[in-house]
Amino acid sequence: MNDPQADRELKPQEFEFESMNLQVGVRLQFITHRRLKPVQHFSTLIGWLKDEYLIVKIPMDNGAPIPLVEGERVTMRVFSGIHVCSFACTVERVFGRPLLYAHISFPRTIQGTSLRTAMRVKVDIPAKVIPKNATVPGADCLLTNLSVNGARVESKKSLPQDEDEIDLEFALLAPPNNQEIRVRTRAAVRNISALSGGSEQAEGFAYGVQFVSLDPVHYTLLQNLTYEALLADRQKIV
């Protein structure tokens, strides 16, 4: 169900270039408009000359650079860390192999939407719950939604009832090469519910947990996961 507060937070706003806090190497969504339906690619920011142009890597498709034409209209999207920003521009100059980068026009109008820090994304990630009491064995579980603040954990087994904190271990894929990064973080248990399969006996348990002192690198990976879901598939936003 859509959250009215989320709709308000996602209302577009006008942004200045500096407020995007762009850094060299940031990942960009590069959208072309040659077809009836826009096509999304991913690129990297190389640099810029203020009020003149941006320098970006030419996106790749099936191992080859996509063809770009000077004067072609494209849309760029970027995650600033707080906002998802979008701006229209044109391709000004294309540098082919071996350089594979392009100059695109400097953004004149930038639209942005706030990204809720607690925005949750539907996932299906195997995980392990490691109780604080080291004498109790860990339990396999599944993360069914995830945010920078916490997660929903589903488990066939009930966790120890006397523990208000657990260690949670799972893996995330880091761009651009989908390298697997293992995450282990302390999490506070905020709520517990039984999973019903239509019978009188519960088929499992769901736990709402809040991350405690999440590693900054892992926080950034979770931000990126939320950002890409917002850009590519809003159906994944809880």
Examine the domain organization and report whether 181 and 226 are in the same domain: yes
- The residue range of the domain holding 182 is 121-236
Q: Which residues are paired to 143 by β-bridges? A: 125, 153
Examine the domain organization and report whether 110 and 153 are in the same domain: no
Main-chain dihedrals φ then ψ at residue 54, nearest 5 degrees: -105, 150
CA distance 7 to 234: 12
Which of 86, 114, 142 is the last residue in one of the domains? 114
- CATH code where residue 143 lies: 2.40.10.220
Which of 98, 114, 130 is the last residue in one of the domains? 114
CA distance 195 to 212: 25
Q: Tens digit of pLDDT per residue, the chain (238 long)?
A: 344 444 444 567 888 999 888 888 888 889 999 888 899 898 999 999 999 999 999 999 888 999 999 999 999 998 766 678 899 999 999 999 999 999 999 999 999 876 655 578 889 999 998 866 666 667 899 999 988 889 999 988 776 665 678 889 999 988 667 789 999 999 988 888 877 655 455 578 888 899 998 888 888 888 778 777 766 665 666 6
Which of 90, 114, 138 is the last residue in one of the domains? 114
Strands 165-174 and 179-196, how do they pair?
Answer: antiparallel
Examine the domain organization and report whether 173 and 190 are in the same domain: yes
Structurally, the chain folds into a number of domains equal to 2
Examine the domain organization and report whether 207 and 127 are in the same domain: yes
